[in-house]
Structure 1
C-alpha cells in the first residue's frame, strides 16, 4: 500500500468520473420511473382490450353459428373462399422513451360491402353482419398483439434499466468513491511524509550552519 503513489490529477479525474456516474444514475432512474408509469398505462389498455376481444369473439362465434343454421355451412364456407385479397399485416417500428416497439397496420382486413368478393344476391343482411363482425375481430387481434408486444418490451427495458441503476448505485459508484477516498488519504499521508522530510532536512542544515 505504502508503495502506491497516486497523483492529484488521478484524484481529480476519478472525481469527474464519479460525477458522471451519478448523473447517469439519476438519468437512468428517471427513465425507469417514466417507463414504469408507461407500463401501467399500457397494462390498463391491455386489460381493456382483452375484455373487449373476448366479448366480441363470443358475439362473432354466436353470429357464425346462427348463420350456419340459417344459410348452411356450405354457403358460409363459400363466402369465406370468395375473398380475393388476403389480409396483410405490415409491421413498422416506433420508439417509446427510447424503447423500440412495433407499430402494426393492416390491409384488406375491413372492406366495403361491395368489395368483399361474394355476391349480394342470395345472401342475407345477417351474413353481412357476420362478415363485418369477424373483420372487426381480426382488427382487434392485431391491435391487441401490438399493445401486448409493446408491454413486454417495456417490461424488459424496465428490468434492464433497474439492473443498470442498481449496478451504479451499489457497485460502480461506491467502488469509485472508495478508490477516491484511498487516494485522498494516501496523498495526505504523502504530504505528511514530505513535510516531515523537509523538517529533518531543515534541522540538518541548521545544525551544520551552527
Structure 2
C-alpha cells in the first residue's frame, strides 16, 4: 500500500477498475451458464448414446461369436476383409459462447448384402447378421465421437472460465476495493488535517484581530 499514490485520480481509477472487473465477472458467469447448459444437454445425449452403443455392441459381439462358431473363423475373416470400406465424414461446427461445438456428418454405414464385397454363395445369413450388427455399432460410434469431443471442449472452457471468475471475484475485486479504501482513508485524513489547520489559522487570525482591535481602543485620540 505504501507505493500507492493516494490521489483523487487514483481513487477514480480504482473505482473504474472495480466496475470493469465486476462487469467482466458477470459476463463470464453468463458465459459459464450458457456453457453448462449446453454441457448438460450434450451429457444427456452422450449417456443415451453410450447406453445404445453398449447394447448394440453386445448384440454385434453375440452375432459374431455365433458366426465364428458355426461358420468357422476363416470364413468370417475372409468376409470381413472383403467387406472393408471407407466412410466419408464431414465436420461442421457451431459456436456456443465462443466454444466450437462439433457436429460430425458421415456417409451411411449400413449396406445391402450385395454391397459388402463378399460372395453371397460362400457366406451365410449369420455373417450378414454380424456384419449388419457391426455396421450399426460403427454408425452409433461416429455419432458419439462428435458429442464426446464437444463435451471435452465445453468442460475445458468451463474450467478456464471458472478460474477467471474466481480470480476476479476473490483476488482482483477485493484487491481493488482494498486499495480504494486505503486511498479514500488517506484522502479523508488529509481533508480532516486541512480542516483542522484551517480552523487553527482562522482562530489565530481572529485572535490577532481582537488584539489589534483592543490596542486601537486603548490608544489616545
Q: Structure 1 length as normaliser, TM-score?
A: 0.81
Q: Say which one has the larger Rg.
A: 2
The residue matched to 2:6 in structure 1 has which SS? coil
Return the offset for 1:68: 2.5
5+ residue gaps in structure 2?
213-221
1:164 aligns with 2:164: yes
Return the offset for 1:63: 1.1
Q: Deviations over 1:32-87 (max 9, x none)?
A: 23333333332222222222111111100111122224433222222211136434
Return the offset for 1:164: 1.8
Match of 2:38 in 1: 38
Distance in 1, matches of 2:74 and 2:91, equals 35
Match of 2:191 in 1: 191
| Paired residues of 2:34 and 2:96 also in contact (CA < 8 A) | no
Match of 1:110 in 2: 110
Return the offset for 1:102: 3.7
More divergent stretch after superposition (20-29 vs 146-155): 146-155
Distance in 1, matches of 2:134 and 2:105, equals 17
Match of 2:128 in 1: 128
Match of 1:27 in 2: 27
The residue matched to 1:40 in structure 2 has which SS? helix
Return the offset for 1:91: 4.8
Return the offset for 1:92: 4.9
Match of 2:149 in 1: 149
Distance in 1, matches of 2:194 and 2:141, equals 77
The residue matched to 2:15 in structure 1 has which SS? helix
Return the offset for 1:200: 4.2
Distance in 2, matches of 1:4 and 1:74, equals 82
Tell me the C-alpha RMSD between the 2 structures. 2.9
Q: Deviations over 1:70-119 (max 9, x none)?
A: 43322222221113643455555443332234433445743444432223
5+ residue gaps in structure 1?
none
Q: How many residues align?
A: 210
| Paired residues of 1:35 and 1:158 also in contact (CA < 8 A) | yes
| Paired residues of 1:86 and 1:108 also in contact (CA < 8 A) | no
